[in-house]
Amino acid sequence: MAVALVDVRRLAALDMHGLAGTLLRRRIILAEFVLGAVGCVVIGFFTATRAPAIWWRVLGVWLVGTGLNYGALALHAVWLSRASALDRELAGVDVPTELRRYTYLQVWIVVPLLLVVLALGQLRDRPGT
C-alpha cells in the first residue's frame, strides 16, 4: 500500500464520528460534504467561465478543484453511512488521537484535486471498497 499524506476515507470517517459519534453529526457532516462539493463546483464553474478578470477565473478553477475534493469526501461519507460501516472503519482506532492528527490534515482539502487523486489511489489499494 502506498503511503499518502491523508487517508481520505479515514478523514471522512473521523469527521463524521467526531468525539461522540452521534447520528446527527453523521448526517450534518454528510450534508456538509455534499453541499461543499456541489456549491464549490457550481460557483467555481460560473466564476471561471463568466468572470471578466483573470484572477476571478483562477479563483473559479480553484473552487472547482476544491469542490471535487469535497466530492471525494462525500462519496466516502455515503459509503460510511451504510449500517455499521463507520463503526467498522474506526474499529480499533484511537479516535481522540486520530481526530487531533486529522484536524491538522484537513488543510489539504484546499489543494485542488489532491484528495481526488489520493482517494483514487486508495480505492485501488483497498480490496472490497
In a domain, 44, yes or no: yes
Distance CA 114, CA 17 (A): 23
- Is residue 1 in some structural domain? no
Would 2 be classed as within a structural domain?
A: no
| 107-129 per-position pLDDT tens digit | 999 999 999 999 999 888 775 54
111 in a structural domain: yes
**What predicted TM-score, i.e. pTM, was given to this entire model?**
0.91
Whether residue 3 is contained in a domain is answered as: no
In a domain? residue 56: yes
- The count of domains in the chain is 1
* Lookup result for grid cell 453529526: 25
Burial of 61-80, coded b for 16+ CB within 10 Å and e otherwise, reads ebbbbbbbbbbbbbbbbeeb
Asked, for residue 24, whether it belongs to a domain, the answer is yes
Q: Is the residue at 45 inside a domain?
A: yes
Local confidence pLDDT in tens for the 129 residues of the chain: 444 689 999 999 999 999 999 999 999 999 999 999 999 999 999 999 999 999 999 999 999 999 999 999 999 999 999 999 999 999 999 999 999 999 999 999 999 999 999 999 988 877 554
Domain encompassing residue 55:
8-125
